[in-house]
Copies of this chain bind each other. A is one copy, B any other.
């Protein structure tokens, strides 16, 4: 893998990207006292010059109105865009006037910035099926545009948070023929998250020059092994969207075909997207532990992904990890019902963390292990479940989290 370095800046890390975020009133104020700063609920980010833009959307049949509008705008604009507006607390989905209002959000931004509405994309996240209040958004757009700044990435990243407890940002710098390029991103969690789509809202920006076609290819290939290998609760959201915007301001020769430069770009993109995926898993609703399942020794990549995801999605295993109980039978059970073709009798399994590793199963059967060691390993807040199929060279990681009382609590009364 090419060398890269972690940097600050999130979606503003790459040259020529500004952002802003503020509270406009979609979220109910936690404290009605106007002197208290409210949590941001709307954000805008924009590039100084038009960006080639790639996108991946949810595969849910119920598609949020913002997603339909974003897709239409990208088609109309030849897969280029200048700005993205996004709100939290309301998904603007399953509303009769949803598309109209999503269009309105874009038109407001376009008018204020003096750009075509098709160059503005839109995303929403929050409760499904509640009418979106458009007035506070309209009222906020002038301030949003006026306050756009090359360093307000955190203001934007906090504005897309719903039940997230921390904002998620990551960025890297790398070189192409001596030209420094940057990729940065932000993401929101933390419930209704499940593979088979672009999970949740994820926005990635880069100053690297990449053709629209290669940008889409890099995004699709990387989503497969990052966001699509993530599950918090098995529910595929209606509003999932990943946008990857490339403005070319780094000044490298445009990547327009496969080859070394494409591979370098993709490796850096993987770092950012995998880091965000891990953050999303760790901040899963109610989560107390990050779970990573590494499936190795698989006959092919798809088998490795399928098995790793199956383990990460098991409610029973997730509850056992919450209880720090080395109930490895549940790992084998989930490996066994994964929809893939392999020999279960060769499988080995282990639990690992910074406190050590404990092998619990070999050749599909249990092996004696120390419950004391297992308890020590599972006391960590980051647990690896190592599954080796012993029938090939492919491997994949899937990310998830434990199932806790708090998940139930959060989701027992989410709308209020």
Interface residues of A (CB under 8 A from B): 59-63, 91, 93-96, 127-131, 191-192, 196, 233-238, 313-316, 319-320, 322-323, 325, 327-330, 332-338, 342, 344, 360-361, 364-366, 403-405, 407-416
Given A325-B415, A329-B94, are A319 and B234 also a contact pair (CB < 8 Å)?
no
Chain B residues lying within 8 Å of A333, measured Cβ to Cβ, are 60, 62, 128, 192, 235-238
Q: Are B344 and A61 in contact (CB under 8 A)?
A: yes
Partner of A129, one of B95, B131, B314, B361: B361
A113 to chain B, nearest CB (A): 31
Q: List 9 A-B contacts (CB under 8 A).
A: A60-B336, A130-B329, A234-B315, A238-B333, A315-B407, A320-B413, A322-B408, A323-B414, A405-B408
A320 to chain B, nearest CB (A): 6
Partner of A325, one of B60, B336, B412: B412
Q: A192-B330, A405-B409 are in contact. List 17 more A-B contacts (CB 8 A).
A: A61-B342, A62-B332, A62-B336, A62-B364, A63-B336, A94-B332, A94-B364, A95-B366, A131-B366, A196-B337, A234-B315, A235-B314, A235-B333, A238-B336, A315-B315, A319-B412, A323-B413
CA distance A314 to B332 in the complex (A): 23
CA distance A327 to B235 in the complex (A): 14
Q: Are A408 and B412 in contact (CB under 8 A)?
A: no
Given A235-B315, A329-B93, A411-B315, are A366 and B62 also a contact pair (CB < 8 Å)?
no
Q: Are B325 and A234 in contact (CB under 8 A)?
A: no
Q: Are B316 and A192 in contact (CB under 8 A)?
A: yes
Could you say how many copies of this chain the assembly holds? 2
Given A405-B405, A411-B315, are A129 and B320 also a contact pair (CB < 8 Å)?
no
Among all A-B residue pairs, the 8 with the closest Cβ atoms: A128-B329, A323-B412, A62-B336, A319-B411, A129-B366, A129-B329, A236-B337, A61-B336
Chain B residues lying within 8 Å of A196, measured Cβ to Cβ, are 337
Q: Are A316 and B235 in contact (CB under 8 A)?
A: yes
Q: Are B128 and A330 in contact (CB under 8 A)?
A: yes
Chain B residues lying within 8 Å of A344, measured Cβ to Cβ, are 61-62
